[in-house]
Amino acid sequence: MLNILCFGDSNTWGYVPEKGLRYDENTRWTAIAQSLLGEQFRIHEAGLNGRTIMQGEANREFRNGAELLNLYLESCRPLDMVIIMLGTNDLKASFDLSINTITQAARALCQQVLEFDYAPYHCPKLMLIAPAPLVASENIDSEFENRIADSKRLAPAYYQLCNELNIDFVDAGRIVKASIIDGVHWDKDGHHNFGQHLSTLLQQLSEK
Q: Which residues of the chain have pLDDT under 50?
A: none
pLDDT tens-digit profile of 110-142?
A: 999 999 999 999 999 999 999 999 999 999 999
Please report the pLDDT score of residue 19 as a whole number.
87
CA-based nearest residue to 99, from 176, 177, 155, 172: 155
Please report the pLDDT score of residue 159 as a whole number.
98
Please report the pLDDT score of residue 146 as a whole number.
97
Query: What CATH number does residue 29 fall under?
Result: 3.40.50.1110
Structural domain that includes position 148? 2-206
CA-based nearest residue to 68, from 22, 116, 16: 116
What total of structural domains would you count in the chain? 1
Please report the pLDDT score of residue 58 as a whole number.
77
Please report the pLDDT score of residue 57 as a whole number.
81
Please report the pLDDT score of residue 4 as a whole number.
98
CA angle, 154 then 186 then 29, to 5°: 95
C-alpha 132 chain-centroid distance: 10
Please report the pLDDT score of residue 29 as a whole number.
98
Please report the pLDDT score of residue 63 as a whole number.
94
Please report the pLDDT score of residue 18 as a whole number.
86
